[in-house]
Structure 1
Amino acid sequence: MSFRKLFDFLRDLNKNNHKEWMDSHRKEYFEVRDFFIDWLNQLDMRLASIDPDYSPTTGKNAINRINNNLLFHPDKPVYKDHFSGGLDKEKGKGDFYIHIGINECFVAGGFYRPPKKVLDSLRAAIDYNGEELRKILNDPSFKDSFEELIKDERLKTAPKGYSQEHRHIDLLRNKSFAVMHSFTQKEVMQEDFQDKIIELYKKMLPFRRYLNKAVTV
Protein backbone atom coordinates (compact mmCIF):
# COMPACT_ATOMS: atom_id res chain seq x y z
CA MET A 1 0.00 0.00 0.00
CA SER A 2 1.15 3.54 -0.73
CA PHE A 3 -0.03 7.13 -0.96
CA ARG A 4 -0.31 6.62 -4.72
CA LYS A 5 -3.04 4.03 -4.14
CA LEU A 6 -4.64 6.30 -1.55
CA PHE A 7 -4.87 9.09 -4.13
CA ASP A 8 -6.24 6.64 -6.73
CA PHE A 9 -8.96 5.56 -4.32
CA LEU A 10 -9.92 9.14 -3.48
CA ARG A 11 -10.15 10.05 -7.17
CA ASP A 12 -12.44 7.08 -7.83
CA LEU A 13 -14.53 7.97 -4.77
CA ASN A 14 -14.81 11.56 -5.92
CA LYS A 15 -16.23 10.40 -9.26
CA ASN A 16 -18.66 8.03 -7.54
CA ASN A 17 -19.55 9.91 -4.40
CA HIS A 18 -22.49 7.85 -3.14
CA LYS A 19 -23.11 5.10 -0.62
CA GLU A 20 -23.75 2.39 -3.19
CA TRP A 21 -20.27 2.77 -4.68
CA MET A 22 -18.64 2.91 -1.26
CA ASP A 23 -20.50 -0.22 -0.12
CA SER A 24 -19.16 -2.13 -3.11
CA HIS A 25 -15.61 -0.88 -2.48
CA ARG A 26 -15.40 -1.29 1.28
CA LYS A 27 -12.41 -3.60 1.03
CA GLU A 28 -10.41 -0.98 -0.89
CA TYR A 29 -11.51 1.71 1.54
CA PHE A 30 -10.36 -0.22 4.60
CA GLU A 31 -7.04 -1.03 2.92
CA VAL A 32 -6.18 2.62 2.31
CA ARG A 33 -7.66 3.66 5.66
CA ASP A 34 -5.52 1.09 7.50
CA PHE A 35 -2.47 2.25 5.54
CA PHE A 36 -3.09 5.84 6.65
CA ILE A 37 -3.64 4.77 10.27
CA ASP A 38 -0.36 2.81 10.25
CA TRP A 39 1.41 5.79 8.72
CA LEU A 40 -0.01 8.05 11.46
CA ASN A 41 1.14 5.55 14.09
CA GLN A 42 4.70 5.74 12.75
CA LEU A 43 4.63 9.53 12.71
CA ASP A 44 3.13 9.62 16.21
CA MET A 45 6.01 7.57 17.63
CA ARG A 46 8.62 9.73 15.90
CA LEU A 47 7.07 12.97 17.15
CA ALA A 48 6.83 11.61 20.70
CA SER A 49 10.58 10.90 20.60
CA ILE A 50 11.51 14.51 19.79
CA ASP A 51 9.00 16.50 21.86
CA PRO A 52 8.85 15.92 25.64
CA ASP A 53 5.48 17.71 25.81
CA TYR A 54 3.92 15.63 23.05
CA SER A 55 0.65 13.81 23.82
CA PRO A 56 0.78 10.35 22.16
CA THR A 57 -2.15 9.85 19.81
CA THR A 58 -2.70 6.57 18.01
CA GLY A 59 -3.57 6.65 14.34
CA LYS A 60 -6.97 5.16 15.15
CA ASN A 61 -7.73 8.03 17.54
CA ALA A 62 -6.19 10.61 15.23
CA ILE A 63 -7.97 9.81 11.98
CA ASN A 64 -11.12 11.73 11.07
CA ARG A 65 -14.27 10.26 9.55
CA ILE A 66 -14.42 10.25 5.77
CA ASN A 67 -18.15 10.97 5.85
CA ASN A 68 -19.23 14.59 5.65
CA ASN A 69 -21.64 15.81 8.32
CA LEU A 70 -24.72 16.22 6.16
CA LEU A 71 -26.88 17.25 9.12
CA PHE A 72 -25.13 20.62 9.33
CA HIS A 73 -23.91 20.74 5.71
CA PRO A 74 -26.61 19.09 3.56
CA ASP A 75 -25.17 20.52 0.33
CA LYS A 76 -21.84 18.73 0.71
CA PRO A 77 -21.12 15.37 -0.98
CA VAL A 78 -21.58 12.22 1.08
CA TYR A 79 -17.83 11.60 1.37
CA LYS A 80 -14.80 13.85 1.73
CA ASP A 81 -12.09 14.07 -0.92
CA HIS A 82 -9.32 13.52 1.62
CA PHE A 83 -8.03 11.58 4.58
CA SER A 84 -7.04 13.59 7.63
CA GLY A 85 -6.05 13.29 11.26
CA GLY A 86 -4.99 15.27 14.30
CA LEU A 87 -1.91 14.26 16.32
CA ASP A 88 -0.63 15.56 19.65
CA LYS A 89 -4.22 15.66 20.88
CA GLU A 90 -4.91 16.92 24.37
CA LYS A 91 -8.13 18.46 25.60
CA GLY A 92 -8.03 22.24 25.47
CA LYS A 93 -4.95 22.45 23.25
CA GLY A 94 -4.47 22.84 19.53
CA ASP A 95 -3.45 19.67 17.72
CA PHE A 96 -1.14 19.02 14.77
CA TYR A 97 -3.31 18.38 11.72
CA ILE A 98 -2.45 16.35 8.60
CA HIS A 99 -4.61 16.58 5.48
CA ILE A 100 -4.02 14.36 2.42
CA GLY A 101 -6.46 14.88 -0.44
CA ILE A 102 -6.86 15.05 -4.19
CA ASN A 103 -7.33 18.83 -4.15
CA GLU A 104 -4.93 19.82 -1.40
CA CYS A 105 -2.36 18.31 0.94
CA PHE A 106 -1.04 20.17 3.97
CA VAL A 107 -0.08 20.13 7.62
CA ALA A 108 -1.44 22.74 10.01
CA GLY A 109 -1.38 23.63 13.67
CA GLY A 110 -2.89 26.07 16.12
CA PHE A 111 -6.52 27.05 16.69
CA TYR A 112 -8.93 27.35 13.75
CA ARG A 113 -12.08 29.25 14.73
CA PRO A 114 -11.86 28.31 18.41
CA PRO A 115 -14.76 28.80 20.84
CA LYS A 116 -15.12 32.19 22.53
CA LYS A 117 -13.45 31.15 25.79
CA VAL A 118 -10.32 29.99 23.95
CA LEU A 119 -10.29 33.02 21.66
CA ASP A 120 -10.57 35.33 24.67
CA SER A 121 -7.55 33.61 26.26
CA LEU A 122 -5.51 33.94 23.08
CA ARG A 123 -6.30 37.64 22.82
CA ALA A 124 -5.44 38.17 26.50
CA ALA A 125 -2.04 36.57 25.90
CA ILE A 126 -1.43 38.84 22.92
CA ASP A 127 -2.45 41.86 24.98
CA TYR A 128 0.00 40.85 27.70
CA ASN A 129 2.89 39.65 25.54
CA GLY A 130 2.15 39.99 21.85
CA GLU A 131 5.79 40.77 21.20
CA GLU A 132 6.68 37.12 21.74
CA LEU A 133 4.12 35.92 19.21
CA ARG A 134 5.20 38.53 16.70
CA LYS A 135 8.82 37.45 17.13
CA ILE A 136 7.83 33.84 16.40
CA LEU A 137 5.82 34.82 13.33
CA ASN A 138 8.64 36.99 11.99
CA ASP A 139 11.38 34.42 12.45
CA PRO A 140 12.91 33.85 8.97
CA SER A 141 12.84 30.04 9.28
CA PHE A 142 9.21 30.13 10.42
CA LYS A 143 8.15 32.53 7.67
CA ASP A 144 9.94 30.44 5.07
CA SER A 145 7.82 27.41 6.04
CA PHE A 146 4.46 28.97 6.94
CA GLU A 147 4.52 32.55 5.60
CA GLU A 148 1.69 33.93 7.78
CA LEU A 149 -1.39 33.07 9.81
CA ILE A 150 -4.13 31.25 7.90
CA LYS A 151 -6.35 33.85 6.29
CA ASP A 152 -9.79 33.62 7.82
CA GLU A 153 -12.58 35.89 9.04
CA ARG A 154 -11.29 38.92 10.93
CA LEU A 155 -13.05 41.56 12.96
CA LYS A 156 -13.43 44.88 11.16
CA THR A 157 -13.03 46.72 14.43
CA ALA A 158 -11.29 46.05 17.73
CA PRO A 159 -12.48 43.17 19.93
CA LYS A 160 -14.59 44.21 22.90
CA GLY A 161 -12.37 45.59 25.63
CA TYR A 162 -9.48 46.53 23.34
CA SER A 163 -8.55 49.85 21.78
CA GLN A 164 -8.39 50.46 18.03
CA GLU A 165 -4.95 51.90 18.73
CA HIS A 166 -3.67 48.74 20.44
CA ARG A 167 -0.12 48.00 19.34
CA HIS A 168 -1.15 44.47 18.31
CA ILE A 169 -4.58 45.27 16.89
CA ASP A 170 -3.76 43.43 13.64
CA LEU A 171 -3.31 40.21 15.62
CA LEU A 172 -6.22 40.80 17.99
CA ARG A 173 -8.69 41.02 15.11
CA ASN A 174 -8.04 37.44 14.06
CA LYS A 175 -10.67 34.78 14.77
CA SER A 176 -8.24 31.96 13.98
CA PHE A 177 -4.64 31.48 15.06
CA ALA A 178 -3.24 28.72 12.87
CA VAL A 179 -0.56 28.18 10.24
CA MET A 180 -0.19 25.65 7.45
CA HIS A 181 2.28 24.30 4.92
CA SER A 182 1.11 22.81 1.63
CA PHE A 183 2.51 19.85 -0.30
CA THR A 184 2.05 18.58 -3.83
CA GLN A 185 0.88 15.01 -4.38
CA LYS A 186 4.33 14.29 -5.79
CA GLU A 187 5.94 15.41 -2.52
CA VAL A 188 3.54 13.27 -0.48
CA MET A 189 4.54 10.19 -2.45
CA GLN A 190 8.27 10.72 -1.89
CA GLU A 191 10.12 8.58 0.65
CA ASP A 192 11.20 11.58 2.74
CA PHE A 193 7.65 12.98 3.16
CA GLN A 194 7.45 12.02 6.83
CA ASP A 195 10.90 13.52 7.45
CA LYS A 196 9.68 16.82 6.00
CA ILE A 197 6.65 16.78 8.28
CA ILE A 198 8.85 16.24 11.33
CA GLU A 199 10.99 19.25 10.39
CA LEU A 200 7.84 21.35 10.01
CA TYR A 201 6.60 20.13 13.38
CA LYS A 202 9.82 21.34 14.99
CA LYS A 203 9.54 24.75 13.33
CA MET A 204 5.91 25.06 14.41
CA LEU A 205 6.58 24.15 18.06
CA PRO A 206 7.29 27.69 19.40
CA PHE A 207 4.05 28.92 17.81
CA ARG A 208 1.93 26.08 19.17
CA ARG A 209 3.55 26.27 22.61
CA TYR A 210 2.77 29.98 22.81
CA LEU A 211 -0.88 29.35 21.98
CA ASN A 212 -1.22 26.31 24.24
CA LYS A 213 0.30 28.23 27.15
CA ALA A 214 -2.19 31.03 26.52
CA VAL A 215 -5.20 28.74 26.91
CA THR A 216 -3.90 26.70 29.86
CA VAL A 217 -2.33 29.32 32.14
Structure 2
Amino acid sequence: MDEHRKEYYEVRDFYIEWLNQLDIKLAKVDPDYSPTTGKQAINRINNNLLFHPNKPVYKDHFGAGLDKEKGKGDFYIHIGINESFVAGGLYKPKKEMLDSIRAAIDYNGEKFKKILNKKSFKNTFGELMEDEKLKTSPKAYSKDHEHIDLLRNKSFAVMHSLTHKEIVNDDFQEQLIEIYKEMLPFRNYLNNAVTV
Protein backbone atom coordinates (compact mmCIF):
# COMPACT_ATOMS: atom_id res chain seq x y z
CA MET A 1 0.00 0.00 0.00
CA ASP A 2 2.81 2.44 0.81
CA GLU A 3 4.17 2.06 -2.73
CA HIS A 4 0.74 2.70 -4.30
CA ARG A 5 -0.92 5.03 -1.79
CA LYS A 6 -1.07 7.98 -4.23
CA GLU A 7 -2.67 5.81 -6.92
CA TYR A 8 -5.13 4.35 -4.39
CA TYR A 9 -6.24 7.84 -3.25
CA GLU A 10 -6.71 8.95 -6.87
CA VAL A 11 -8.97 5.98 -7.64
CA ARG A 12 -10.79 6.27 -4.32
CA ASP A 13 -11.46 9.99 -4.78
CA PHE A 14 -12.74 9.38 -8.32
CA TYR A 15 -15.08 6.64 -6.97
CA ILE A 16 -16.35 8.90 -4.18
CA GLU A 17 -17.23 11.64 -6.68
CA TRP A 18 -18.85 9.04 -8.95
CA LEU A 19 -20.93 7.84 -5.97
CA ASN A 20 -21.94 11.44 -5.23
CA GLN A 21 -23.33 11.74 -8.77
CA LEU A 22 -25.17 8.42 -8.51
CA ASP A 23 -26.57 9.43 -5.11
CA ILE A 24 -28.18 12.53 -6.64
CA LYS A 25 -29.70 10.50 -9.47
CA LEU A 26 -31.12 7.83 -7.14
CA ALA A 27 -32.73 10.48 -4.95
CA LYS A 28 -34.67 11.64 -8.02
CA VAL A 29 -36.16 8.21 -8.75
CA ASP A 30 -37.08 7.26 -5.16
CA PRO A 31 -38.99 9.75 -2.97
CA ASP A 32 -38.03 7.78 0.17
CA TYR A 33 -34.32 7.63 -0.69
CA SER A 34 -31.91 8.49 2.14
CA PRO A 35 -29.16 10.70 0.67
CA THR A 36 -25.74 9.14 1.22
CA THR A 37 -22.57 10.94 0.14
CA GLY A 38 -19.74 8.99 -1.43
CA LYS A 39 -17.67 9.41 1.74
CA GLN A 40 -20.53 8.01 3.83
CA ALA A 41 -21.15 5.18 1.37
CA ILE A 42 -17.65 3.85 0.72
CA ASN A 43 -16.29 1.03 2.88
CA ARG A 44 -12.81 1.10 4.35
CA ILE A 45 -10.06 -0.61 2.36
CA ASN A 46 -8.75 -2.57 5.37
CA ASN A 47 -10.13 -5.99 6.18
CA ASN A 48 -11.19 -6.56 9.78
CA LEU A 49 -8.45 -8.99 10.80
CA LEU A 50 -9.89 -9.35 14.29
CA PHE A 51 -12.84 -11.31 12.89
CA HIS A 52 -11.15 -12.55 9.70
CA PRO A 53 -7.48 -13.19 10.60
CA ASN A 54 -6.82 -15.22 7.44
CA LYS A 55 -7.84 -12.46 5.05
CA PRO A 56 -5.27 -10.12 3.47
CA VAL A 57 -4.72 -6.74 5.15
CA TYR A 58 -6.31 -4.88 2.24
CA LYS A 59 -9.41 -5.65 0.18
CA ASP A 60 -9.18 -6.12 -3.58
CA HIS A 61 -12.42 -4.22 -4.19
CA PHE A 62 -14.30 -1.03 -3.46
CA GLY A 63 -17.57 -1.55 -1.62
CA ALA A 64 -20.20 1.13 -1.07
CA GLY A 65 -23.67 1.21 0.44
CA LEU A 66 -26.10 3.85 -0.83
CA ASP A 67 -29.56 4.71 0.52
CA LYS A 68 -28.16 4.11 4.00
CA GLU A 69 -30.47 4.46 6.95
CA LYS A 70 -29.92 2.89 10.35
CA GLY A 71 -31.88 -0.32 10.81
CA LYS A 72 -32.59 -0.80 7.09
CA GLY A 73 -30.94 -2.60 4.22
CA ASP A 74 -28.88 -0.52 1.79
CA PHE A 75 -28.13 -0.69 -1.94
CA TYR A 76 -24.63 -2.17 -2.10
CA ILE A 77 -22.18 -1.77 -5.01
CA HIS A 78 -19.10 -4.01 -5.10
CA ILE A 79 -16.45 -3.25 -7.74
CA GLY A 80 -13.51 -5.63 -7.56
CA ILE A 81 -10.61 -7.20 -9.40
CA ASN A 82 -12.14 -10.69 -9.43
CA GLU A 83 -15.82 -10.03 -8.73
CA SER A 84 -18.26 -7.16 -9.18
CA PHE A 85 -21.94 -7.07 -8.27
CA VAL A 86 -24.86 -5.09 -6.92
CA ALA A 87 -26.73 -6.42 -3.89
CA GLY A 88 -29.44 -5.37 -1.48
CA GLY A 89 -31.77 -6.55 1.22
CA LEU A 90 -30.78 -7.82 4.66
CA TYR A 91 -27.91 -10.30 4.90
CA LYS A 92 -27.79 -12.20 8.20
CA PRO A 93 -29.92 -9.65 10.09
CA LYS A 94 -30.01 -9.65 13.90
CA LYS A 95 -32.61 -11.80 15.62
CA GLU A 96 -35.08 -8.95 16.22
CA MET A 97 -35.00 -7.96 12.55
CA LEU A 98 -35.25 -11.56 11.40
CA ASP A 99 -38.26 -12.09 13.69
CA SER A 100 -39.92 -9.00 12.17
CA ILE A 101 -39.33 -10.22 8.62
CA ARG A 102 -40.78 -13.62 9.46
CA ALA A 103 -43.81 -11.96 11.06
CA ALA A 104 -44.36 -9.94 7.87
CA ILE A 105 -44.12 -13.11 5.76
CA ASP A 106 -46.55 -14.86 8.09
CA TYR A 107 -48.97 -11.92 7.77
CA ASN A 108 -48.60 -11.32 4.03
CA GLY A 109 -46.17 -13.72 2.43
CA GLU A 110 -48.13 -13.67 -0.83
CA LYS A 111 -47.09 -10.07 -1.43
CA PHE A 112 -43.43 -10.97 -0.89
CA LYS A 113 -43.68 -14.01 -3.18
CA LYS A 114 -45.27 -11.87 -5.87
CA ILE A 115 -42.25 -9.54 -5.72
CA LEU A 116 -39.78 -12.45 -5.82
CA ASN A 117 -41.58 -14.19 -8.69
CA LYS A 118 -42.02 -11.14 -10.93
CA LYS A 119 -40.41 -12.03 -14.27
CA SER A 120 -38.20 -8.94 -14.53
CA PHE A 121 -37.07 -9.39 -10.90
CA LYS A 122 -36.14 -13.04 -11.51
CA ASN A 123 -34.32 -12.11 -14.71
CA THR A 124 -32.30 -9.48 -12.84
CA PHE A 125 -31.56 -11.28 -9.56
CA GLY A 126 -32.59 -14.92 -9.87
CA GLU A 127 -33.26 -16.39 -6.43
CA LEU A 128 -32.47 -15.08 -2.96
CA MET A 129 -28.74 -15.23 -2.16
CA GLU A 130 -27.74 -18.64 -0.88
CA ASP A 131 -27.19 -18.73 2.86
CA GLU A 132 -27.62 -21.13 5.74
CA LYS A 133 -31.27 -22.08 6.32
CA LEU A 134 -33.04 -23.55 9.29
CA LYS A 135 -33.46 -27.31 8.95
CA THR A 136 -36.85 -27.12 10.64
CA SER A 137 -39.44 -24.40 11.06
CA PRO A 138 -38.69 -21.33 13.20
CA LYS A 139 -40.21 -21.24 16.68
CA ALA A 140 -43.92 -20.34 16.65
CA TYR A 141 -44.33 -21.44 13.01
CA SER A 142 -45.70 -24.74 11.81
CA LYS A 143 -43.57 -26.90 9.52
CA ASP A 144 -46.68 -26.99 7.29
CA HIS A 145 -46.86 -23.18 7.03
CA GLU A 146 -47.71 -22.12 3.46
CA HIS A 147 -44.57 -19.94 3.36
CA ILE A 148 -42.22 -22.27 5.24
CA ASP A 149 -39.73 -22.12 2.34
CA LEU A 150 -39.24 -18.39 3.05
CA LEU A 151 -39.57 -18.56 6.84
CA ARG A 152 -36.58 -20.91 7.08
CA ASN A 153 -34.24 -18.30 5.56
CA LYS A 154 -31.72 -16.52 7.78
CA SER A 155 -30.90 -13.92 5.09
CA PHE A 156 -33.09 -12.00 2.68
CA ALA A 157 -30.79 -10.50 0.07
CA VAL A 158 -30.43 -10.53 -3.70
CA MET A 159 -27.46 -9.96 -6.01
CA HIS A 160 -26.84 -9.05 -9.63
CA SER A 161 -23.40 -9.82 -11.09
CA LEU A 162 -21.63 -7.18 -13.16
CA THR A 163 -19.13 -7.65 -15.98
CA HIS A 164 -16.05 -5.51 -16.54
CA LYS A 165 -17.56 -4.38 -19.84
CA GLU A 166 -20.70 -3.10 -18.08
CA ILE A 167 -18.66 -1.21 -15.48
CA VAL A 168 -16.63 0.74 -18.04
CA ASN A 169 -19.65 1.55 -20.25
CA ASP A 170 -20.76 5.18 -20.38
CA ASP A 171 -24.27 4.19 -19.31
CA PHE A 172 -23.18 2.25 -16.19
CA GLN A 173 -24.91 4.62 -13.78
CA GLU A 174 -28.15 4.38 -15.78
CA GLN A 175 -27.91 0.57 -15.63
CA LEU A 176 -27.49 0.75 -11.85
CA ILE A 177 -30.52 3.02 -11.58
CA GLU A 178 -32.63 0.45 -13.43
CA ILE A 179 -31.34 -2.30 -11.12
CA TYR A 180 -32.12 -0.07 -8.12
CA LYS A 181 -35.69 0.44 -9.33
CA GLU A 182 -36.16 -3.30 -9.92
CA MET A 183 -34.90 -4.06 -6.40
CA LEU A 184 -36.91 -1.33 -4.70
CA PRO A 185 -40.18 -3.23 -3.97
CA PHE A 186 -38.10 -6.06 -2.45
CA ARG A 187 -36.13 -3.68 -0.23
CA ASN A 188 -39.26 -1.71 0.70
CA TYR A 189 -41.01 -4.90 1.83
CA LEU A 190 -38.09 -5.83 4.09
CA ASN A 191 -37.53 -2.30 5.38
CA ASN A 192 -41.22 -1.93 6.22
CA ALA A 193 -41.11 -5.28 8.00
CA VAL A 194 -38.27 -4.23 10.30
CA THR A 195 -39.49 -0.68 11.01
CA VAL A 196 -43.30 -0.97 11.29
TM-score bracket, shorter-length normalisation: over 0.9
Partner of 1:8: none
1:204 aligned onto 2:170: no
Selected match of 2:43 from 51, 57, 64: 64
Please list the CA deviations of residues 145-190 of structure 1 after superposition, one character each: whole Å capped at 9, or x if unmatched: 1111001111111011111000000000101001110011111111
Aligned to 1:85, the other structure's residue is in SS state strand
Check if 1:189 corresponds to 2:168: yes
Provide the rounded CA distance (Å) in 1 between the counterparts of 2:83 and 2:151.
29
Q: Does 1:31 align with 2:6?
A: no
Task: Name 1:103's counterpart in structure 2.
Answer: 82
Partner of 1:173: 152
Residue 79 (structure 1) aligned with residue 38 (structure 2):
no
Which 4+ residue blocks in structure 1 deviate beyond 6 angstroms? none
Match of 1:94, SS? Answer: coil
The correspondence for 1:90, drawn from 59, 66, 69, is: 69
C-alpha deviation, 1:104, in angstroms: 0.9
Q: How many angstroms apart in 1 are the aligned matches of 2:180 and 2:63?
A: 16
Q: Give the alignment's TM-score, normalised by structure 2.
A: 0.99
Give the C-alpha shift of residue 24 in structure 1: 2.0
Q: Percent identity?
A: 76
Give the drift of 1:130: 0.3
Tell me which residue corresponds to 2:115: 136
Q: Which residue of 2 aligns with 1:159?
A: 138
- Distance in 2, Cα, partners of 1:182 & 1:210: 22
SS of residue paired to 1:38: helix
**CA-CA distance at 1:81 after TM superposition:** 1.1
Q: Could you list the per-position Cα deviations for residues 68-102 of structure 1 after superposition, in whole angstroms to 9, with x for gaps in the alignment?
A: 00111111111111001000000111000000001
User: CA offsets, 1:88-146, max 9 Å, x none?
Assistant: 00011100000000111111110000111100000000000000000000101111111
Amino acid at match of 2:178: E
> Which residue number corresponds to residue 129 of structure 2?
150
Instruction: Determine the structure 2 residue equivalent to 1:55.
Output: 34
User: Residue 164 of structure 1 aligns to a residue in which SS?
Assistant: coil
Partner residue, 1:12: none
With the length of structure 1 as denominator, give the TM-score of the two structures: 0.89
Q: Distance in 1 between matches of 2:52 and 2:162?
A: 27
- Give the distance between the partners of 2:159 and 2:26, measured in 1 at CA: 18
Partner of 1:46: 25
**Counterpart of 1:186 in structure 2: which amino acid?**
K
Counterpart of 1:5? none
